[in-house]
Structure 1
Amino acid sequence: MPFQLPHPDTAIHLYRHLLREATYVPPYCRPWVTERIRSKFRDDRRPNIHKAHQSLRYLRSANAGHVDRTLHLCFLASGRLGKRRRQLASSYLAKDPAVDSDALHQKPLLPTEKDTSSNRKPRPEEPPIQSWLDNWDIHKIKAVAGAQVRNTTNLPKQMRKTYDPALVLPTENAWGRPFKPKLAKRKEQKHYAKLLADLMPPVPQGEWDLLQALSLGQAETDMFNVPSRRTVATTPVTTQDSPTITAPEWNWEAYVTKPVRAVERGNSRAFKSLSGACDSDPRGQGRPIGVKIFNPRRLRRSIYGRVWEASPTLTKAKGKGKFQVTFGGARRELSPATTSDLQFFSGVDKQGAPTKITEPHKGNG
């Protein structure tokens, strides 16, 4: 940032500043960020002003070119993190609804219900254990978890390799006796709760195709153009001699009452993009850490490509309980060597092994 942006004082000005910052984020996550800001201010009766100020500083840091914070916004917009991730998981990993009336009536009995389909006396069996896990499709969860384990990209959350409960959960207690059904069900619920916390849910096919086009550079040109920040208005103070701009006063009381590291924390390279501070001395701390210039190539490779690599699609395959999961990601091949560089690779094959040199055949005489 060339200078420190003004910070709002009232709630309505804070709301306007947040909406203004939402127009500078990448085009892919811009609709989600705008809708999130509006819903937070409309739904909350008492909006948290302190968190809103933190969000404003976060958005300004991302718009200044901070790669990690911009990537985090795209992860939130695509459902790799946050509220939308839970919404996608409940939509795509839940059990399919009943096809007809017969399938709808075939539901598990509640503990208070009895089977009256026959005149036989019901056997004294334990009632079925009701669980939140009954609403989830275990085959879908295992298919996505297995594909996520085989995926070697840098995901926001890493999946454990032992995702199958049959390989992790014990079946007997310390005395060699099998667990009671209620205790075994609780252990299974705890395992799948941890599994769902690290799972990357599938995304809609249309959104997956859009991420693919953005990662390969095949989308529209407007999706790679980030609008430039407009000039911030300043209020100059004119005098009789010459017009001057008022500079902020030095707060000497903070240096007396607080440690210097606490006062100068906003000027450090790690927090400079959040505070918006700039070095008045050319021998200052230097450029902020993690801030880059967003051009179409950096957006395609560092932002859109990583979001696509962390986004799977789920389609039903042939067979009962079988699903096909496809994660995004394109193989990056090296460009071919030039003619002047090929001389360094003469005498070796594509694997780097030396080629055999055949000697010319010598005839008799």
Structure 2
Amino acid sequence: MLIRNHESAFDHPHASEITPPAVYAQRRALLRQLAGGAAGAALASWAGRQALAQTGQAPGRLAALAGQRSSVAGAVTVEKITAYQDATSYNNFYEFGTDKADPARNAHTLKTRPWTVEVEGLVNKPRRFDIEELLKLSAQEERIYRLRCVEGWSMVIPWVGYSLAELIKRVEPQGSAKYVEFVTLADKATMPYVGSRVLDWPYTEGLRLDEAMHPLTLLAFGMYGEVLPNQNGAPVRIVVPWKYGFKSAKSIVKIRFTDKEPATAWNKAARHEYGFYSNVNPDVAHPRWSQATERRIGEDGLFSRKRKTLLFNGYEAQVGQLYAGMDLKKFY
């Protein structure tokens, strides 16, 4: 169980000691209801959540950011879209807290203007991009991606952005560049959990250059036809749909091209649990739980049956060739 310290320094356990948040949050909510003799109220709460999922609850809260429907192969799934309310209130963003509800509650402190993203390292044209410049760099597209998290839950979200490759081409990677590292904002003044001991800050992630150049890898600025909410990674994030969600870095401030595999946040925190590649693979179990099934958020309520997890999150036809000949159990 995670104990929160309200002093300036947060004494959190190591990542390997944390109960899977999806299981913990669900269990805690239900037990709290039952302890008060309100089993019926617990079921009613879940029924209300399902009603929100049925209506879709249109966003209409933030600045509009529309995109044309993407023509990239595999970029638009026909699965039912997760309700906006669920997608913006059930999040992993440890800079704002470790409970799933914390980011929506705490991320209002994040300041997204002014904002710049610096591109550096093994490129011929290193430079700093203003966020408004990035927004206009290429035509915005809507892409409906599955998002699968390592804790065993998933969503389907309509993102707005364009292929990260559009930015990469403009900075001209050198022949020696093999990897791309993403560095996110770590501002103690606006991110109350930066400095906690769960992770080494700032949060960093990385991809192989060919993964970063794949058309499905998205530089995202919005979702549901609006700009990104703070808790979902405003103002700019990466979305890599065939990898577990923690690979999709949020609130990016730096992109660095290197010739060596970059150290990443969760890999540093628990190397035996979170590999560099972190491709969705039902045959590779997390040390503390199976990855063979998943729970779709907003689907069929508290007692819903889990669905089978798909290799590469269902994007095998598009990305499987990137890993031809690799041992996917060794390179997890």
Instruction: Give the TM bin, normalised by the shorter chain.
Output: under 0.3
Q: Relative to total residues, which structure has the larger helix share, 1 or 2?
A: 1
Q: Relative to total residues, which structure has the larger strand share, 1 or 2?
A: 2
- Rg larger for: 1
TM-score, with structure 1 as normaliser: 0.24
